[in-house]
Amino acid sequence: MIHPLAGKKVQQEDLINPDELVEAYYSKVPEADDKRQRVAFGTSGHRGRAQDTSFNDLHVAAIAQAVCDLRNEFGATALCFVGADTHLLSSPALATVLEVLAGNGVVAGVDEDAGYVPTPSVSRAIIRYNENRDKKSDGLIITPSHNPPDNGGIKYNPLNGGPADTSITKRIEEKANAYIVAGGKGIKRIAVDEIPPELQVEYPFKRLYVEELPQIIDMTAIQKARPHVLINALGGSGGAYWEAIRDMYQLDLTIINSEADPTFSFMAYDHDGVVRMDCSSAYAMAEVIAGIGAYDLAVGNDPDYDRYGIVTAEGLLPANHFLVTAGAYLFGTRSWQGKGFGKTVVVTGLVDRFCNDKHIPVYEVPVGFKYFAPLLFDGTIGIGGEESAGASFLKKDGTVWTTDKDGMIMGLLAMEMLATTGQSPARLYEALTKDYGTPIFTRVDTACDAETKDVLSHLSGNDVVADTLAGETLEEVRTTAYHEALDIGGLKLTTVNSWLVARPSGTENLYKIYAETFAGEATLDALIKEGQRIVDDAARP
């Protein structure tokens, strides 16, 4: 059910209180015996709220100390790049990280302008730095992504520049929680205003990122076509990047919401009445959608700029639609012979149909961009993307750009597509559906208890007794992705025209059902109903 305030500007009484949040960050201390207050890495880092004692000074210090303890083991012996977004808690967390790095004698790579640094810019910096050096760098990024203004988050990116895999995050999590159990004993810190200058290197994150864009995007084509584009910076870490891109390449960009506002008072409520800076949500992007008439295209990014939202005259293009369209365009314009298309288990089947026709290998992985990082790093895939609006792709020469999600290049790619084809991404998507069919997709969250979540996460294909799904023969039931048989943490059911994935949430007492069909709305409704019944039956003791 859609909240009555969805799409409307946030009301004054729902804005965060900055002073209270910062006070909670420093004053609340996690209790080691409370699981909810421990360090817990999800699909991309540790996230939480200061008021709930799940993201506080001790959490961040413990994670940073764990990284310092382990980074040599992970192969990092040079500087550690540090980036942060515009969430309120990111600033005090940045100070905490810098104090601990300095306390351990680790040189921090900080922004030369003391500005915000987006996730893709940190990833790019790690890859750039490590290309021709024996001593390798890594990075810490302080961001809770698109989540509400009172949230905080931190993640670790190792030598390949992408989100750390489970083998690394598990080690960091264990070490960090040991420091929390010890009440912070053993954590080394130097007060932020006493850090010796030799322990911080000012790095030109923005300048290098912007200068290198012609290596991955046809900036000349955009310059010649000069599409009139609206950029919704969403008060995030890349607002200054869009301004630099506009100025360096003389593009016709109108940029709104580029100033950092930690209360995010300009935002609209999301579908559920929560303030969430999700550029892939039509409700959060209501301002841009309403104003698209004066522009050829609009682009939005979330606070750390690892996600994208593409708006055309037809409205906000669903992330699944843009991903497959972007991939089709790239494989048609880049010399990527032998490269594959990376997708998660919940990305549209239109990718598979297109790739099967064009003889492009598909690399299906579980949910989480960390699974794409090694595939992008070594050039196995040309593009990798998620249904949640996160993607990255290779440079024109087929070498790695970033191994973390990059919302800016996805927005620039939309401009390139419009410039070179004369058609909007929405029209290009329609052309694909004429050749391969029109899928419809939905996601439904269903409440369940912790026991049911645990059962669901350990199901096997043999636990499903049904042999049909939404009127079609059930062709496949699996709990692993095709690539390396990686565990997807749930079930995927497939018929000739449809698929369904059921996964327990990592943070809430609910399970998520993702469903897609090429057989129409009635089939989609049946998919959801029957899928819930099949999952409930399989999970029943």
Active site residues: 145
Question: Whole-angstrom Cα distance, residue 446 to residue 98?
Answer: 41
CA 323 to chain centre: 14
Q: HSE of 285 in the Cβ direction (CA atoms, 13 Å)?
A: 28
Question: Whole-angstrom Cα distance, residue 341 to residue 380?
Answer: 9
C-alpha distances (whole Å) from 499 to each of 59, 64, 65, 466 are: 39, 41, 43, 14
Query: Where are the strands (E) in 43-111, listed by range?
Result: 45-49, 76-84, 108-111
Q: What three-state secondary structure class fits 268?
A: strand
Place of tokens 């990718």: 351
C-alpha distances (whole Å) from 198 to each of 106, 195, 203, 378, 495 are: 10, 8, 13, 34, 60
Q: What three-state secondary structure class fits 209?
A: helix
Which two three-digit tokens encode residue 241? 């990047």
* C-beta pairs of 256-262 under 8 Å, 24+ apart in sequence: 256/230, 256/231, 256/232, 256/287, 256/288, 257/232, 257/233, 258/231, 258/233, 259/235, 260/86, 260/116, 260/235, 260/236, 261/86, 261/235, 262/16, 262/18, 262/86, 262/87, 262/88, 262/149
C-alpha distances (whole Å) from 341 to each of 26, 43, 322, 328, 362 are: 44, 21, 14, 10, 5
**Pick from 300, 276, 321: nearest CA to 433:** 321
Question: Whole-angstrom Cα distance, residue 440 to residue 497?
Answer: 11
Identity of residue 289: I
Query: Where are the strands (E) in 118-199, listed by range?
Result: 136-142, 151-157
Decide: residue 294, CB within 10 A, 0-12 exposed, 13-18 middle, 19+ buried.
exposed
